[in-house]
Structure 1
Amino acid sequence: MLNVSVEFGDDVKELIKNMKEKYGDIIIILGHGCCSPTEPQIYRASDFIVGSDYVEVGRVDDVPFYIERNLAESYNGWVLTLRVEPLNGAVDDSFSLDVLEGVRLRLGFKAMKVSLSKNLSMKLPQ
């Protein structure tokens, strides 16, 4: 079972709100493709067919965040942190809608905290 979670701040909420107003239903995709697996792509929901090789790992202000299954498995046990960064005048050849706003949605990582019950017991093989 996948255990991936997504965190984001007000900067991401504001970007998503503006993009939904401008483009309608949107989705966030993270996959291998031609781009780095640390650069989520934002598409109109009608412009991307989410295949069975993708899994939804969370919602970003009610926008589904899909990750390619094998990539999601490698991120199992991690918290994916989203942030907005300016393009700083750089040319970005991404198909992602955020570049039209002069920014990029970026991905960071942090280890997920796991807490175990004090009453947990395990038998070791003999």
Structure 2
Amino acid sequence: MKVEKVTATDAALSFIKKLEEKHGPLMFHQSGGCCDGSSPMCFQDGEFRVGESDVYLGDIGDMPFYMSKDQYDYWKHTQLIIDVVDGRGGMFSLEGPEGKRFLTRSRMYTEEERKALQQENA
């Protein structure tokens, strides 16, 4: 069983496609903290430098999604579900001028998913 650590709603996937058509390949990063860092940030691929303190969680809309290691330690028991809603996006995030913002929702993994993740990480 392959467990997805990050997924996206249909609305988010459609919006990601729109941003990709406008800006080219994209990437996402969620660092945590306050202000812009508490929402997933969308960048042109390579615009944000990913480092050793970041964890790759998977792809949404064929675009890589990363999270800071410190933040991941808090969220590792949940599947992240990226959505898009009306509102002001992060200052440096590509969706800002579109009148939309990405939003992270989550759900706890099932017991079966937790066991699969433990085996994957062993």
Q: Same fold (TM over 0.5)?
A: yes
Match of 1:78 in 2: 78
CA shift, 1:79, in A, is 1.0
Distance 1:99 1:21 in 2: 16
Structure 1 gaps of 5+ residues are 118-126
Match of 2:63 in 1: 63
Over the aligned positions, Cα root-mean-square deviation in angstroms equals 2.3
Greater percentage in helix: 2
Moved over 3 A (4+): none
Distance 2:36 2:25 in 1: 24
Match of 2:95 in 1: 98
State the TM-score, normalized to the length of structure 2: 0.80
Structure 2 gaps of 5+ residues are 116-122
In the TM superposition, what are the counterparts of 1:1-126 in structure 2 within 5 Å?
Answer: 5-32=5-32, 35=35, 37-87=37-87, 94-115=91-112
Distance 1:63 1:37 in 2: 19
Identity value in percent: 25
Q: Secondary structure at the match of 1:13?
A: helix
Amino acid corresponding to residue 65 of structure 2 in structure 1: F
CA contact under 8 A between 1:4 and 1:77: conserved in structure 2?
no
Distance 2:34 2:45 in 1: 20
Distance 2:24 2:55 in 1: 22
